[in-house]
Amino acid sequence: MTKLRFEGGVGSIGSSKVMVEDGGFRVLLDLGDAIPGERGLLMAPVVSRPGSELRDRLRVREAPAIEHLYRREAVGEVGPEGGGDGRTALFLSHCHIDHVGLIGWVADDVPIYGSAETVRMLDALEAAGEPLEGGPHHVQVLGEDQPIQVGPMTVVRHAVDHDVEGASGYSVHTTQGTVAYSGDLRLHGRHPELTERFARRVRGAAALVIEGTTLSGDPSAPMRDEPAVDRLFAEALAQTPGLVLMSLYPRDIERVRAFLQLARGAHRRILWPEPMARFLAAYGVVGVETYLPQRSPAEVSHDPAGFVIQIAMESLADILDLPLGPGSLFLHANGEPLGPFQPSWQLLQNWLRFLDVPFRSIGTSGHAAPDDLHHLVAEAAPATVYPLHTADPFRLLPPPGTVRILPRYGREYPLAPALGRGSEQDAGAGPK
């Protein structure tokens, strides 16, 4: 019998982990960590004990107790059985911490697959001195539409659009039907055709596991597209007489490249904190310049309208040496801090008020708007839909003919539309 089990992402944004089991074989879709500052017991200032990091995570349920997944020495004698058994494979949707954050603990004999861009980004992070927790990765490149056999199951990767290159959804073809997994996706980005194509290719799946990040927001609020983000950035550069500070998520490589080009057109240079510059250069982004506190302030002070400076929260005090005030501007484009749920968000606001720097948000979500989520579910027309990666899964309303199941953490769900097409299961439904 084919079963689904949800080991993360249940009732929260991020930390996605979905297990599909068939005939004693296991396909694990993503192995993410919690979003920093969202919730959890191992949050700053609390840290795991050296040498016991994974064991601590397992004990407080911030890592799933999955047999034959982790390295034996990392699990120790009190956790699940370590080391691979030849029956488990891990597939990654994209290179965000809430989807790949725990893969450094995976045993070397457990295969891990992802897109070429995901592997390149993981390599660039390691080269830049930002290694994974647990150790180096051993992710293998999986081409789009390239099938991988895991026992009786066939797994196929499909490109989707997200705010990171190489984002993927998957279809897992089992003995009892297809399980489709969206990863993170959207329709308002630069490549909506990829997400639409994924929905068509998994049409009629027995189950669709779909992210629902934006279901917690205002469904009537319009979702800004990436060209609009570019326009807002260009307008801000043209209208600001002084220095522009910026917080952009460096893993959003397409936006990084777009902003670099727009800044050049506005006769401004973007300066990056050294760790971010190392990562971008290792990934292959050209034209990356580093902000060096011991040298750059004098140059920036001489021509503040000629620069944009990306901030890093850990070195925020460096901006005390910069020419800031009402003629300056801070642009938040989805970088750190990610949002008000992080304690550092209010800290940043306090700094900007102290320095008299206006704040403006110009970014857009990497996740599909509620209306687009409903459109994608209708296009995919699965027998059953499981909303994941959201605090409000009950806000996903499937069309007639699709059963909605709100998953519970660690529960097993047989791959079958138990109530028949056109009915719905509410929160808490499913096997006991």
What does the block give as tokens for 262? 């727009």
What does the block give as tokens for 74? 């990392």
Q: Which amino acid is at 308?
A: V
| Burial bucket for residue 298 (CB in 10 Å: 0-12, 13-18, 19+) | exposed
Residues whose CB is less than 8 angstroms from the CB of residue 293 and which lie 6 or more positions away in sequence, other chains included: 315, 318, 321
Domain boundaries along the sequence of the chain: 3-218+367-414, 226-361
What does the block give as tokens for 305? 């309208």
- Which CATH superfamily groups domain 3-218+367-414? Ribonuclease Z/Hydroxyacylglutathione hydrolase-like (3.60.15.10)
3 state SS for the chain: CCEEEEEECCCCCCCCEEEEEECCEEEEECCCCCCCCCCCCCCCCCCCCCCCHHHHHHHCCCCCCCCCCECHHHHCCCCCCCCCCCCEEEECCCCCHHHHCCHHHECCCCCEEECHHHHHHHHHHHHCCCCCCCCCCCEEECCCCCCEEECCEEEEEEECCCCCCCCEEEEEEECCEEEEECCCCCCCCCCHHHHHHHHHHCCCCCEEEEECHHHHCCCCCCCCCHHHHHHHHHHHHHHCCCCEEEEECCCCHHHHHHHHHHHHHCCCEEEECHHHHHHHHHHCCCCCEECCCCCHHHHHHHCHHHEEEECCHHHHHHHHHCCCCCCCEEEEEECCCCCCCCHHHHHHHHHHHHHCCCEEECCCCCCCCHHHHHHHHHHHCCCEEEEECCCCHHHCCCCCCCEECCCCCCCEEECCCCCCCCCCCCCCCCCC
Fold assignment, 226-361: Rossmann fold (3.40.50)
Per-residue b or e along 332-355, where b marks 16 or more CB atoms closer than 10 Å to that residue's CB = bbbbbbbeeebebbeebeebbeeb
Q: What is the pLDDT of residue 293?
A: 73
| Strand bridging mode 3-8 / 412-414 | antiparallel
pLDDT tens, residue by residue, 1-51: 899 999 999 988 878 999 999 999 999 999 998 765 445 677 667 777 888
**Distance in angstroms (rounded) separating the CA atoms of residues 86 and 178:** 22
Q: Which amino acid is at 272?
A: W
| CB 168 within 8 Å of CB 113 | no
Q: Which amino acid is at 6?
A: F
Name residues of the chain where pLDDT drops below 50: 37-38, 417-432
pLDDT tens, residue by residue, 287-321: 999 988 767 888 899 999 999 999 999 999 999 99
